[in-house]
Amino acid sequence: MGQNFQEDATAVAELVSSGAASPDEMLDEALARVAALNPALNAVVLINEEAARAAIRQGLPDGPFRGVPFLIKDLGAEAQDFPSNNGSNLLRDTRYSYDSEIFLRMRATGVVTFGRTTSPEGGIGPVTEAAVYGGPTRNPWDVTRTSGGSSGGSGAAVAAGIVPMAHGSDGGGSVRIPASSCGLFGFKPTRARLPDGPASGEGWAGMATDGFLTRSVRDNAAMMDACAGPDLGAPYAAPEMEMAYGQAIQRPPKRLRIALCYTTFTGKPIGPDCKAAVEKTAKLLSNMGHDVIPHVPQADHEGMMHAWTKIVACGTASWIDSTLNAKGRALQQGDIQGVAESAHRMAQGISGAEYLNAVNKIHSYGREMAAVFGDYDIILSSTLAEPPAAVGRFTHDRDDYENYRVGAGGVFEYSPFCATFNASGQPAASVPMHWTDEGLPVGIHLAAAFGQDATLIALCAELEQAAPWANRKPAMLTEYLA
Residues belonging to the active site:
73, 150, 174
3-class secondary structure, 386: coil
Give Cα 286 to chain centroid, integer Å: 28
Q: Rounded to whole angstroms, how far apart are CA atoms 197 and 233?
A: 8
Q: Rounded to whole angstroms, how far apart are CA atoms 153 and 188?
A: 17
Q: What is the DSSP string of 412-427?
A: HHHS-SHHHHHHH---
Q: Rounded to whole angstroms, how far apart are CA atoms 26 and 40?
A: 22
Residues in CB range of 224: below 8 A, 6 or more apart? 187, 189, 193, 194, 212, 245
For 340-450, list the strands marked E by DSSP: 378-382, 428-435, 441-448
Return the closest-CA partner of residue 275 out of 391, 142, 147, 436: 436
Q: Rounded to whole angstroms, how far apart are CA atoms 10 and 21?
A: 14
Return the closest-CA partner of residue 157 out of 133, 138, 175, 171: 138
Q: What angle is formed at CA 468 by the lines to CA 464 and CA 474, rounded to 5 degrees?
A: 120
Q: What angle is formed at CA 464 by the lines to CA 272 and CA 125, rounded to 5 degrees?
A: 50
Q: What is the DSSP string of 178-204?
A: HHHHHT-EEEEPSTTSS--TTT-S-BT
- CA dihedral (330, 334, 339, 344) in degrees, to 10, reads 0
Question: Count of alpha carbons within 13 Å of 237, Cβ hemisphere only?
Answer: 10
Determine whether 279 is exposed, middle or buried from the number of CB atoms within 10 Å of its CB (0-12, 13-18, 19+). Answer: middle
Q: Helix 453-466 to helix 217-227 angle, to the nearest 10 degrees?
A: 160
Residues in CB range of 476: below 8 A, 6 or more apart? 37, 40, 140, 160
